Structure 1
């Protein structure tokens, strides 16, 4: 957690508080949109459309329902009776009398008797004679003030009291479409109203008054056979025809209402997505030109069928909706931060799109009410999160580029700096263990020299000297670790490793010594003699990265490899060499220019190592012969040691050889010499 907090703090500072705050606000906005888009204007329209699409896609295709039959007033009925509103009640009375003797389970009437008509007594007599459980539509001004006035409610209540005590009971026909006029859910069932028509007809428990989730619409399996059988009420009102229809009535739930153009019609989820050749009940539109809408009586029939089937939709858990919203936002942000190529991002986005498109459909298929699942909100939330994270990533990348240019431009070779600019992640911003080639230099006697001349001259000389050695390091592709007074520490193999790093490091070590010699020769008049530049070079593991804490970051290497290179540089003075390398370096560099100088224990160390001197001007066969001779001498061969001693006498100017002979003569038990 502390590491995360630190990284977050560093990222915030890199982006700036304003940009970080804006990014955070956008991510929060994307999460809220992905969660609450069903409650956001305009977005809810898209959500409803997507819900309708998946509701239709998952709606069961069924054969004609044998349990429910619709008895309807049609436009032809209205023409024959010369009445449109209120509907002719004499036909209703005759149909009810016929139906009462046909064995229907129950009868539901979706017709409001809300004003007087001459046929009222005939209808009252028919109601009082009913033996079949019958439920007559009721509505109130309080719940439906757009269509029911107080005087209409008063008439309806008085009418229903006039037929009370028999088989006829009031039932609510209150519908509550969504704001776009579409019937998607069961309506509220206020306690001030009697049970809903479908509930009353089936004797559903009182607890179902609380169900207000999705209506489980069904579609016709065969367009020529609608989900529900429809019979014109004219046929049942005709005694000569009615009894011939008994088999279609017996044992069924009968719903009576209007199937009239422009009256009591509702849009449903199927309105815009079903085959436009038929309506939602499978009836050809040329016979029912209602633009795919569904009459209220059919909505009652779908709810009645749902109740009989027990297909109750379960609410989506709020935790699941939040989890999905969070997943969408994370997916959008991670996609922006993935660093994938364009084709990889495209595949990633397609996979996410397939997942987030299938989740709501799958939820709908297993019986969840997905009206609260924000599928459109997911898409918008994903886009906002993608743009916010992508913008922040680009800004952070720009900061990293500027960091690489300003902090490392003077310490890295051009090709490595260019690679870091192309790929900032190649520069570790923490630390990692890497095998590297380390070069450590020192200018002999410079501290004493600095006390003998003016400070201004010290600065001039030191800057020139360091410039000369830095040019060598950068020219050979190395990384300048640090300057310690007149000492230069450099390494190869990080932040980017190359196959020829070893050869580059060796070449740099030789060139740095030579640059030091030129510096000595070009010293201004009046400056005391300047000492030699000595170099130590080693290969080993180190921790490489940015160190220094929050306030001051330095790209550097830490570890034993650095210390060993420093000890090798110091050992030059005692071994009479200018450049001294370890056996590990010689084994890995692949540069055959070294001759062995025995085994020593470096100052401050306990373990002996082999040391080597680069002699690029010595012929290869002579280097090989010399190496064999030294190897034998180190193993205690007296002849080899005597040969080396004669060689040192014959070459009095070879101080490193003379020192080797001395060390062989005075080595400690175990075959090595301990340096001071």
Structure 2
């Protein structure tokens, strides 16, 4: 049923939204799908383009947070060693950059003797030094595999110029042996200078330094995230660097070789600089570590350690990203379209928010590469889809609400119509027993008149008459049940009951008679005279609700209360009155303008009804005389009933033109002792 209702609501929104609004909503949904499904790591416009999706910065920040929060915490890595030279080394050797090659030659000889597994040199030999001969000699004598740093002028114009490229190529050609070969030291960063991914190999260049030192067929095509690691806290709370390092001065010192050999033997050794403002990279861990940048040498060492671990992080397939995006957009659209009550909406929103926020975290913690995962795009796509469908639905609902309120406003007071629209369950398809004030009217002689004038005039007069009476009902807070020809049926107390319903119903009964009098006095020329408007009002229980089925319903009241009100209206004709109200309604009206009109047995009813008529201008003392006289007719004493009849005649003589009073006297003369006047 819920799915059927959702489909029905969706079909209604599509039907009533209009082409323009539907097109705009569709475009927004496509935008939401694109933002939620696009891999932010890929530039817009294909390879070579620098344009990024708007959420790229947010995605980078979220990824860095995930990568740092779930970074593996490890002991110090015993497989890799960094040998670094820093600013103090350069000062001591009186060479700013590059490193003194005589010092490097001595370090290489010692490393070779210490049993290093392989050596990678993150230094570009792109300009001559006096010690080049020493370095070449040391390289030619190496038994340990050595990989010399290589960069290409075409890919690194900011770091190397053409002349440097020429010298580098000549030097590498002179140094090359079976054990000494070039390796690319190229690293890639995103536009915010953060190194997150393995660099893409360039055709025609030597292998990446880490892949050269530890060849791996699986990693040869890997383009995913670099798995940075965090140090595990020791028992005393201290932390050791994940990648250990030694100063090149110590390695180059022959007297230290024996002591340092255990730290070198069997390890991959990377040699490079730790120079201020040179070869420094931000990483996803930058916000979690005291030092905000990482030297390029450590980035290479981290990639080498990832390769040694076999940590080939699987990426979420593109089709899965688009499927997730479609589900997110669909969930947002359906949630918006469902128009849930708050106690259902809050859990639904909580579940979806938890899924959108939690899935990237779960994937990262499970060892997936979430670098291209559009986490912010999911959230933004959901918001756009929800807002787009919600705006369309609200526009349609507003349009329908205005139409419904205008339609309801023809039958209900505005405040009740507004409350019904806010709480439509008040008009649910069921009935309930409620005490209501029921009012019936009839226009005397209109049926006969309709045969004497043109149909167009009949329609004009009838519409005008019904409008006048409807305005009276609505102005007094009543609900219009139906029109039956020239008759109006209305009630108070449903669908919403109010404390002043009795007073309003009584005032409306009298005002409707007044409206009828104004109508009959303001007829177009040539229209025969029209009779009085007769009104009957009663209070009693009725079954109130929507009846008729799902396809065709009517909000109405059924039951004895309705029948009694109809009989009261009909009783006006034989009793020569215009407005008759039952005692049940009079006692709840809080008004004091009633004069009693006796007790009668209505047509088709077994129980007698005490009748009252609203007469605001009737003197209070005469109302009291009538009340006392009619009460005396219930007394068994014949003399008192005789006196009561005399009192009735005395009051009637004061108002010789009051047909209702004359009829009252007649009835009590006719019924005789202890009888009740019955209407056939």
With the length of structure 1 as denominator, give the TM-score of the two structures: 0.69
Q: Deviations over 1:567-596 (max 9, x none)?
A: 99699999x999xxxxxxxxxxx99xxx99
Whole-Å separation in 2 of the counterparts to 1:508 and 1:613: 24
Whole-Å separation in 2 of the counterparts to 1:519 and 1:80: 116
Whole-Å separation in 1 of the counterparts to 2:551 and 2:443: 27
Q: 1:314-333 to 2 correspondence within 5 Å?
A: 314-322=314-322, 323-324=324-325, 327=328, 330-331=331-332
Equivalent position of 1:257 in the other structure: 272
Q: 1:139-158 to 2 correspondence within 5 Å?
A: 139-148=151-160, 152-153=164-165, 156-157=168-169
Equivalent position of 2:27 in the other structure: 25
Cα 1:614/1:404, change in 2 over 3 Å: farther
**How far apart are residue 215 of structure 1 and its match?**
0.6
Cα 1:577/1:253, change in 2 over 3 Å: farther
For the 8 Å contact 2:282–2:293, the answer to whether it is kept is yes
Moved more, 517-526 or 433-442: 517-526
For the 8 Å contact 1:186–1:212, the answer to whether it is kept is yes
Cα 1:504/1:395, change in 2 over 3 Å: farther
Cα 1:404/1:28, change in 2 over 3 Å: same
Q: 1:210 aligns with which of 221, 234, 239?
A: 221
For the 8 Å contact 2:71–2:227, the answer to whether it is kept is yes
Cα 1:155/1:10, change in 2 over 3 Å: same
- 1:87 and 2:99 are equivalent in the alignment: yes
Equivalent position of 1:226 in the other structure: 241
Q: Secondary structure at the match of 2:371?
A: helix
> Would you say how many aligned residue pairs link Structure 1 and Structure 2?
592
For the 8 Å contact 2:542–2:560, the answer to whether it is kept is no
**How far apart are residue 246 of structure 1 and its match?**
0.8
Cα 1:121/1:475, change in 2 over 3 Å: closer
Whole-Å separation in 2 of the counterparts to 1:5 and 1:145: 60
- 1:409 and 2:432 are equivalent in the alignment: no
Cα 1:164/1:545, change in 2 over 3 Å: farther
Equivalent position of 2:70 in the other structure: 58
Structure 2, unmatched stretches of 5+, are 44-51, 576-586, 589-598, 613-626, 635-669
Q: 1:270 aligns with which of 285, 290, 311?
A: 285
Equivalent position of 1:498 in the other structure: 497
Cα 1:124/1:521, change in 2 over 3 Å: closer
For the 8 Å contact 2:199–2:223, the answer to whether it is kept is yes
- 1:302 and 2:302 are equivalent in the alignment: yes
Cα 1:198/1:513, change in 2 over 3 Å: closer
Structure 1, unmatched stretches of 5+, are 280-291, 550-555, 579-589, 601-609, 624-646, 660-676
Cα 1:519/1:160, change in 2 over 3 Å: closer
- 1:432 and 2:433 are equivalent in the alignment: no
Q: 1:486-565 to 2 correspondence within 5 Å?
A: 486-490=486-490, 496-498=495-497, 527=529, 539-540=542-543, 543=546, 557=554
Equivalent position of 1:72 in the other structure: 84
For the 8 Å contact 1:104–1:132, the answer to whether it is kept is yes
Q: Deviations over 1:495-545 (max 9, x none)?
A: x44388998999799879988997999899963767977899994475469
Cα 1:303/1:473, change in 2 over 3 Å: same
For the 8 Å contact 1:43–1:377, the answer to whether it is kept is yes
**How far apart are residue 269 of structure 1 and its match?**
1.9
**How far apart are residue 231 of structure 1 and its match?**
0.9
Equivalent position of 2:374 in the other structure: 374
Cα 1:447/1:68, change in 2 over 3 Å: same
Whole-Å separation in 1 of the counterparts to 2:558 and 2:124: 96
Whole-Å separation in 2 of the counterparts to 1:148 and 1:166: 27
Q: Secondary structure at the match of 1:302?
A: helix
Equivalent position of 1:244 in the other structure: 259
Equivalent position of 1:633 in the other structure: none
Whole-Å separation in 2 of the counterparts to 1:655 and 1:457: 39
Whole-Å separation in 2 of the counterparts to 1:447 and 1:256: 112
With the length of structure 2 as denominator, give the TM-score of the two structures: 0.69
Q: Deviations over 1:27-67 (max 9, x none)?
A: 44344334448353553233223322332222233332222
For the 8 Å contact 1:439–1:505, the answer to whether it is kept is no
Whole-Å separation in 1 of the counterparts to 2:373 and 2:300: 26
Whole-Å separation in 1 of the counterparts to 2:519 and 2:133: 131
Cα 1:127/1:535, change in 2 over 3 Å: same
**How far apart are residue 402 of structure 1 and its match?**
3.1
Q: Secondary structure at the match of 1:315?
A: coil
